[in-house]
Structure 1
Amino acid sequence: MRAALHHLLALPFYAEAVHTIAPDPIARELHNFDGFLRDTCGLKRSTCVYRVRHLEAFFASRTLDESAESLALTIPAIEAFLVDLARRHWRPSSLGVVCTSLRSYLRYRALRGDDTRLAVSTLPLIANWPHRNPPKVLSEIQLERFLQAFNVNTASGMRDYAIARCILDLGLRGDEATHLTLDSIDWRRGVVTLPHTKSNRVQRMPLPEQAGAALARYLREGRPLTNSRYVFVRHRAPFGVPLTVAAIRNAMNRAFERCNLDDQFCNTHVLRRSTATRLQRANVSIKEIADLLRHRSLDTARVYARVDIERLREVALSWPGSTS
């Protein structure tokens, strides 16, 4: 129900109705925080939505007297809010995201002149071990089977194969592949410009030969005649409409099913992880992997350092009391 009702936010009369009502202090604060995330931090709309939603839930968890007295995040209120979420069986990873949203709001309040150093320092560190196992990736044999699952003699097969090559060779996310346009590709220089990234920053990347060949064949032989500037479009009515993230995900899942790998892999992110793993095994540095995947933190890319079991054996200490 909530997901369906959120579509009302896109209706013009609803937006006008919201702005004509005098907002209360909490609604005004949420609106200002959303503007800070969008205009100052340059975050994507989806990130702004969940951070504001977490802050709204925090304010809703407080009593009316507390909300009227101050909008600051007090330490007891933060602890009570997180403990309540934990009692409702929220996962540690989700609690960590909530803490990130609260930390972002405290940063916003600090820029407004409030002293939030004590509150920031007392935000709890949620115990979570999501990377205790190596990431699940395709082996070279499995990857070859996956790429052979596309029928490149059909228009839709050429399109789906080009999508797979872009994700594998450029490390694209599904959302980045959907927003790839004809203007994004500089064929003479061999450069791809990504205007719609997760960090909302324009980034340029070299166009690998195999991805470029797959794209060129699709544009010449498979792409339907359309005025749309998006590279990957629908081949059925309505024609020319850009593919959604769900459509790209389904295309990759169908390929996994055709090569009998659907019981092990699904979606598009496993292809992105496989790209990082292949680079790591080819002695590419973590910094270079992070640059390709457009990770702002090296800690995000360090997970791929644990896939090379042979090298890990070289640095592993012997077990206490063992002979080797």
Structure 2
Amino acid sequence: MRPGKRKFMLKDDPGNLLAPVFGAYRQRLSDGKYAPKVQALYFATVFHFGDWLKTEGVALGQVQDRNIQQFLADHMPSCECDRHTRGDTHTNRAALHLLERVMQDTGFAMTRTTTPMDAELSRFDAKMREVWGYSESTRAARCRIIKRFLMATVGTQNIDINDISGSDISRFIIGDGTRSTSCARGLSGAIRCFLRYRQLIGDNVTPLLAGLPRPPRPKPSTLPEVLKDVEVDALLRSFSADFPQRRRAFAIARCLIDLGMRSSEVAGLTLDDIDWAYGTIRVTHRKGRRADILPLLEATGKAIADYILHERPAPACPNIFVRHRPPIGEPVGRRAVQTTMLAAYRRLGWDRSQVHILRHTLATRLLAKGTPMPVIADVMGHRSLDTTVIYTKLDRAWLSKVSLAWPGGAQ
């Protein structure tokens, strides 16, 4: 059938391959409070997919993730099915992504087809998570780099480290000579991490590690930007305006400003992480898999409690900060946290685009109050004081105001 108005197939059809999961799929749509029209669109896509699987001779227990790609890429653009329409690509993809999760929960999990490249990257990712404790964003970035590197050197075949030479690595990192130093450093760091992973599983990569280009780390010529006290106050006042999910936004802001948390750490907070009796909060999503217990400041606690009691959807998942749009009640991601703060910047007319500035601001304010550097490192979740020093760089004018006279020197 040509693109046009959908014929919503909302009645169960025992002959449809996916009929056993229709009930669970409808329930997931209902629990997520999707709009009725969206529910109809999603279910129509799943119904269509089930019919197509049957014509392809795929059994329910044999559905693979690649079937979704085939359905979307090969079948849908030229679909001439009598009782289905094509719909739009975004809706179809979202509907089938939700179907994957429903099938996982109902015991019909799709099997995933993996290439040697996929298997290698999966093992590399697991090693970064389990051995070095890298954050999800760091692991994802390094896997993307290594995939590009392996595609450029050994292709999609079985990964043999002996097929990689030092010149291959240098050529990939340096490129045509136009890459910035920071870009080259990122590529070099990812490859060094990959080679160390291969070393852990028994490969001799010592010559490759020894010859790995090491682009210099540029010394910052400027101090990290921090907010002034009046700017912090203005930022907090910006949440007094009436807008959707205001309480959630304000609680997120207090976590970032008062505790110096990363966006991913705020998104990962759960109800069990707060001990209201003792006034503490456990931050478990820091880099390096550290779980730190921090004091829960009164203002921060009040903001979180106000959100939980008066705005947070119920029932919802254990995470404190959840979605208010379908699927309602599921955890927000770090990008939602960042978007919340960028919206506050826009309300104030700021052209800033970095949320990390709030961590620099907290570290600098703590140092200005005379907080010992090791304590600041604990609050920021840093393993090394060298990292904390970067966050607390101060200009000489400020330092001269708080410095003490040298004993016996000029007053």
TM category, shorter: 0.7 to 0.9
The equivalences for 1:160-239 within 5 A come to 160-235=249-324, 239=328
* Percent of residue pairs bearing the same amino acid type: 31
**Cα contact 2:133–2:287 (8 A) shared by 1:** no
What is the Cα deviation at residue 237 of structure 1? 5.5
Which stretch has the larger CA shift, 179-188 or 226-235?
226-235
Instruction: Return the offset for 1:188.
Output: 0.9
Is 1:18 aligned to residue 105 of structure 2? no
What corresponds to 1:280 in structure 2? Answer: 367
Residue 92 of structure 1 contacts residue 127 of structure 1 at CA under 8 Å; is this kept in 2?
A: yes
The corresponding residue for 1:116 is 205
Q: Counterparts of 1:301-312 in structure 2 under 5 Å?
A: 301-310=388-397
How many Å separate the matches in 1 of 2:260 and 2:161?
45
Please report how far the alpha carbon of residue 63 of structure 1 lies from its aligned counterpart in structure 2 after TM superposition. Answer: 6.3
**1:297 equivalenced with 2:381 (yes/no):** no
2:105 aligned with 1:105, yes or no? Answer: no
TM-score by length of 2: 0.63
Give the gaps of 5 or more residues in structure 2: 1-89, 402-411
Measured at CA, do residues 83 and 55 of structure 1 come closer, stay the same or move farther in structure 2, by a change above 3 Å?
same
Say whether residues 1:43 and 2:130 are aligned partners. no
Q: Unaligned 5+ residue runs, structure 1?
A: 315-324
User: Contact 1:250–1:267 (CA<8 Å) still a contact in 2?
Assistant: no
1:280 shift after superposition: 2.0
Structure 2 CA distance for partners of 1:123 and 1:230, relative to 1, 3 Å: same
In 2, the alpha carbon distance for the partners of 1:63 and 1:224 equals 50
Distance 1:51 1:238, change over 3 A: closer
Q: CA deviation at 1:312?
A: 5.0
The 5-angstrom pairing of residues 67-146 of structure 1 reads: 70-71=161-162, 73-84=164-175, 87=177, 89-129=178-218, 131-146=220-235
- TM-superposed CA distance for 1:211, in Å, is 0.9
Number of aligned positions between the proteins? 301
- CA gap 1:72/1:224 in 2 versus in 1, 3 angstroms: same
Instruction: Give 2:237's match in structure 1, choosing from 148, 156, 164.
Output: 148
In structure 2, distance between residues paired with 1:296 and 1:180:
21
**Is the aligned partner of 1:32 residue 2:127?**
no
The AA in structure 2 aligned to 1:296 is R
Which residue identity is paired with 1:46? Answer: S
Question: How far apart in 2 are the matches of 1:222 and 1:29?
Answer: 44
1:167 is displaced (CA, Å) by 0.8
Distance 1:32 1:129, change over 3 A: same
Distance 1:33 1:159, change over 3 A: closer
In structure 2, the partner of 1:318 is none
Match of 1:271 in 2: 358
The 1:107–1:63 alpha-carbon spacing in structure 2 relative to 1, beyond 3 Å, is closer
Answer 1 or 2: higher relative contact order, Cα 8 Å, separation at least 6.
1
Q: Is the 8 A contact 1:181 1:229 kept in 2?
A: yes
CA distance in 1, matches of 2:379, 2:333: 23
TM-score by length of 1: 0.78
Question: What SS is found at the alignment partner of 2:245?
Answer: helix
Q: Which moved more, 1:95-104 or 1:251-260?
A: 251-260
Helix, strand or coil at the partner of 1:138: coil
Larger Rg computed on CA atoms: 2
SS in 1 for 2:293: strand
Distance, in Å, in 1 between the alignment partners of 2:340 and 2:160 is 53
Q: Compare 148-157 and 186-195 and name the one that shifted more.
A: 148-157
Q: Deviations over 1:208-243 (max 9, x none)?
A: 222112222333334344333222234456543433
2:346 to 237, 257, 267: 257
Shift of 1:134: 0.8
Q: Which amino acid aligns with 2:278?
A: R
Cα distance change, pair 176–124 in 1 and its aligned pair in 2 (3 A):
same
